[in-house]
Amino acid sequence: MSGLLAAFFGFIALGVPIAFALGGAAAIGLMLMEGAPIEIIASRTFGAVDSFTLLAIPFFILAGELMETGGISKRLMDLAQSMVGHLRGGLGNVTIFGMVLFSGVSGSTQADAAAVGSLMIPAMKRHGYSAARAGAIVAAASGMGILVPPCLTMVVYGSITNVSIGALFAAGIVPALLMALSLAVHQVFDAKRAGLAPEPRVPWRQRGKALVGASGALMMPIIIFGGIRGGAFTPTEAAVIAAVYALVIGGLVYREITWTFLYRTLVRTGMISGIVMLMMAGANIFAWLLTVQQVPHRLAEMILAAGGGKVLFMTLSILVFLLLFALLDGLPGMLMLVPVIIPTAQHLGIDLLHYGIVMTTVMGVALFLPPFGVGLFIVLGIAGCSVRDITRHLLPYIVNMLVVSIVIALVPWLSYVLPVAMGLYKAP
Q: Number of C-alpha atoms within 13 angstroms, CB side, residue 409? A: 22
pLDDT digits (tens, 9 = 90+) for 190-212: 877 877 666 677 787 887 888 88
Confidence (pLDDT) at 85: 66
- Decide: 141 and 109 in contact? Cβ < 8 Å: no
Residue 427 is assigned to a structural domain of this protein: no
Q: What is the mean pLDDT of residues 222-251?
A: 77
Residue 225 is assigned to a structural domain of this protein: yes
Residue 258 is assigned to a structural domain of this protein: yes
Judged against a pLDDT cut of 80, whether residue 270 lies above it is answered with yes
Confidence (pLDDT) at 306: 65
- Select from 119, 102, 136 the least CA-distant residue to 388: 136
Confidence (pLDDT) at 3: 66
Confidence (pLDDT) at 356: 93
Residue 426 is assigned to a structural domain of this protein: no
pLDDT digits (tens, 9 = 90+) for 300-310: 666 666 666 78
Judged against a pLDDT cut of 60, whether residue 107 lies above it is answered with no
Residue 52 is assigned to a structural domain of this protein: yes
CA 263/CA 390 separation, integer angstroms: 36
User: 28: pLDDT confidence band, cut at 50, 70 and 90?
Assistant: confident
CA 399/CA 405 separation, integer angstroms: 10
Mean pLDDT taken over the chain: 80
DSSP string covering 90-126, please?
A: HHHHHHHHHHHHHHHHH--HHHHHHHHHHHHHHHHHH
- Select from 184, 164, 209, 220 the least CA-distant residue to 353: 164
Residue 146: φ, ψ to 5°: -65, -20
Judged against a pLDDT cut of 80, whether residue 115 lies above it is answered with no
Q: What is the mean pLDDT of residues 141-152?
A: 86
Judged against a pLDDT cut of 50, whether residue 319 lies above it is answered with yes
Q: What is the mean pLDDT of residues 347-376?
A: 87
- Select from 45, 12, 9, 59 the least CA-distant residue to 224: 59
Judged against a pLDDT cut of 60, whether residue 70 lies above it is answered with no
Element (H, E) at 205: helix 204-230
Q: What is the mean pLDDT of residues 251-260?
A: 80
pLDDT digits (tens, 9 = 90+) for 167-192: 998 899 999 999 999 998 888 888 77
User: 416: pLDDT confidence band, cut at 50, 70 and 90?
Assistant: very high
| 110: containing domain | 2-421
Confidence (pLDDT) at 1: 56
Global pTM? 0.78
Confidence (pLDDT) at 100: 81
DSSP string covering 305-327, please?
A: HHT-HHHHHHHHHHHHHHHHHHH
CA 152/CA 273 separation, integer angstroms: 11
Q: What percent of the chain has pLDDT over 70?
A: 86
User: 417: pLDDT confidence band, cut at 50, 70 and 90?
Assistant: very high
- Select from 101, 53, 49 the least CA-distant residue to 78: 101
CA 92/CA 181 separation, integer angstroms: 12
CA 47/CA 107 separation, integer angstroms: 25
Residue 428 is assigned to a structural domain of this protein: no
Q: What percent of the chain has pLDDT over 90?
A: 13
Q: Provide the number of structural domains found in the chain.
A: 1
- Decide: 366 and 321 in contact? Cβ < 8 Å: yes
229 or 139, higher pLDDT: 139
